């Protein structure tokens, strides 16, 4: 009996890892449209559409209202005290920091430019995750990470005439916010269903995001193009909500450091999407830098990562089904 268990356990782990990778890929496919759809929503400086602050707060508030319905229908347990810190960190990174910094940058640079810079996100996520989980990636992994960072900074300098622009600073800050938020969300996904994680992250942000969304409501909403409203609707329902259902479950099943690397496909998918959605030309140097960054990430994914028991919240999974502190 013990022999069968010892054989089946690695098989179950590999099956969970494969499922995690596929779910992570689904999440990446959803997130890949975030950059061009945000660009549609905010518009360029010469033809602005929705205010970046409204796009940030409005998409989070709209997704939070959907989350409230989901949490009530599934009778989800209220967050425990042990979970609240990670929820707040995830909210600060994924609900506020990442979308706001991205929207600010996309007022100044094309979607394709931003897509190349966001190629750093999987490496940032893996690095933050490795530090938080006390894993020890190999030297080769860190060499790939530094090479990818150098390529991104080189691309930013090339497009900025030899200097890094303020928009590039916003994008780099967005990557750090996103990575910290992803790691906090993945940590929470070990103690409760991942779908509930993003819902609670959005709901606890609602007292801030809803008033800000109402305050920053566009003064002339009828003057905003239908395309801009469509972009806003996409980032609300898919980028801010449903995409995380697949993404957090993929990170929980397949391992944060490993699964985060499937995001190497995100810049390429975003570049391709920007052509029909925004009419942006696909320039040769942009494509070359994007492929080079993805190559660094791809090679880094093959490098060994020391596996240590993850630091999980001390919350039994039974709290999700019985004896909760309360019900949503």
Residue 126 and residue 137 in contact, taking contact as beta carbons nearer than 8 Å: yes
The rounded percent of the chain whose pLDDT value lies above 90 is 31
Q: Measured between alpha carbons, how far is 127 from 309 in angstroms, rounded to an integer?
A: 16
What is the phi/psi pair of residue 312, to 5°?
-110, 150
Percentage of the residues of the chain whose pLDDT score is greater than 70: 84
Residue 133 has pLDDT above 70, yes or no: no
Q: Which residue has the higher pLDDT, 256 or 187?
A: 187
What region, left, alpha or beta, does residue 44 occupy, with left being phi > 0 and alpha being psi -120 to 50 degrees? beta
Q: For residue 243, what pLDDT band results from cuts at 50, 70 and 90? A: very high
pLDDT at res. 1: 46
* Mean pLDDT along residues 132-139: 69
**What is residue 203's predicted lDDT score, i.e. its pLDDT?**
96
Q: Using only the alpha carbons of the chain, give its radius of gyration.
A: 20
Per DSSP, the residues of 301-326 read: HHS-B--------S--GGGGTSS-S-
Write the pLDDT tens digit of every residue in 3-42: 444 445 777 777 877 888 889 889 988 998 998 999 999 9
Q: Identify the weakest region by mean pLDDT among 47-61, 170-184, 216-230, 277-291.
A: 277-291
Tell me 327's DSSP state. B
Q: Residue 88: which pLDDT band, with cuts at 50, 70 and 90?
A: very high
The pLDDT of residue 3: 46
């Amino acid at each position: 009996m013990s022999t069968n268990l010892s054989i089946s356990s690695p098989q179950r782990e590999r099956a969970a890892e494969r499922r995690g990778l596929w779910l992570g890929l689904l999440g990446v496919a959803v997130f890949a449209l975030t950059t061009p759809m945000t660009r549609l929503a905010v518009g360029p400086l010469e033809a602005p559409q929705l205010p970046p602050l409204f796009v940030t707060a409005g998409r989070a508030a709209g997704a939070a209202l959907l989350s409230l319905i989901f949490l009530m229908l599934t009778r989800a347990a209220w967050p425990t005290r042990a979970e609240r810190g990670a929820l707040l960190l995830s909210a600060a990174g994924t609900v506020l920091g990442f979308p706001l910094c991205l929207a600010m940058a996309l007022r100044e640079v094309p979607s394709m430019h931003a897509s190349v810079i966001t190629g750093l996100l999987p490496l940032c996520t893996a690095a933050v995750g490795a530090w938080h989980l006390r894993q020890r990636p190999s030297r080769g992994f860190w060499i790939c990470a530094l090479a990818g960072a150098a390529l991104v900074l080189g691309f930013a300098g090339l497009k900025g005439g030899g200097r890094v622009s303020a928009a590039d600073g916003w994008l780099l800050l967005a990557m750090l916010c996103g990575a910290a938020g992803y790691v906090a969300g993945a940590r929470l996904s070990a103690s409760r269903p991942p779908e509930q994680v993003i819902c609670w992250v959005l709901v606890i942000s609602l007292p801030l995001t809803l008033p800000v969304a109402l305050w920053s409501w566009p003064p002339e909403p009828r003057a905003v193009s239908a395309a801009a409203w469509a972009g806003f609707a996409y980032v609300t329902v898919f980028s801010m909500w449903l995409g995380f259902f697949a993404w957090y479950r993929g990170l929980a099943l397949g391992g944060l450091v490993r699964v985060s690397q499937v995001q190497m496909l995100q810049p390429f998918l975003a570049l391709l999407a920007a052509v029909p959605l925004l009419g942006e030309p696909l320039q040769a140097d942009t494509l070359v830098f994007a492929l080079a960054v993805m190559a660094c990430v791809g090679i880094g994914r093959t490098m060994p990562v020391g596996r240590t028991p993850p630091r999980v919240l001390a919350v039994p999974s039974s709290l999700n089904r019985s004896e909760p502190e309360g019900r949503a």
